[in-house]
Amino acid sequence: MRIHKEGYKIILVTFFILIILSMLVVWFVPNHFIRYIFYFGFLLHLLWTMRFFRYPKRNVNQGDNYILSSADGKVVAIEETYEDEYFKEKRILISVFMSPFDVHINWYPFSGLIKYVKYHSGKYLVAYHPKSSELNERNSIVIEKEPGKDVLLRQVAGIMARKIVCYAKESEVIKQGDEFGIIRFGSRVDFFLPLNVDVKVKLDDKVRAQKTIIAQFK
């Protein structure tokens, strides 16, 4: 299993903390059965941490007008809204919520040019909260395929997330399916799409990054 580079340090620190906790269990818990319960819990925590940072190998579902999901998870919002950070106009918002058990790496939904990147500090409301896109820690990226075909992506931290990693840079030419970042633990990704796109998903649909077509440019 391949591990994302952002996970190496966290996994190593987690391993050493669990070793120390295991030593404390030996010293302070005389009952062998209870010790084994602790050891089993520590092992599960280590395996979960390693699994969280897994890096799946997938073939990109390439398509010239496809807008692929940038994240694994569940569609929790599809609505028309006013986007006031960059476009200053009405857009179709599609939100994908990532549970702690989903892959949290993010990939570009289509090929194009990065026009805008901006990080915002903020709160840590649960990621499926309607206001989390506006109030939580977040990072916004605007990608333009061509004039009139552009999307604002927003990485949104959740109640468990404490770090948004984004590799996108303004004026960079990017390729559909390439990685642009990761959000640690429960979080979401918002897509602010042009009103004339053809939406391909429904509420509560499970989507996969690099695979699921969430919408299509016309």
DSSP state of 136: B
If one counts every other C-beta atom within 10 angstroms of the C-beta of residue 36, the result is 12
- Residues 131 and 115: their CA atoms lie apart, in Å, by 25
Residues with a known catalytic role: 187
In terms of Cα–Cα distance, which of 89, 17, 68 is closest to 46? 17
Number of H helices, E strands in the chain: 3, 14
Strand order in the sheet with 187-193: 173-174, 112-120, 138-146, 149-157, 187-193, 89-98, 73-83, 206-207
Residue 58 CA to its chain's centroid (Å): 16
CA distances from 82 to 18, 27, 108, 110, 192 (A): 47, 59, 23, 23, 9
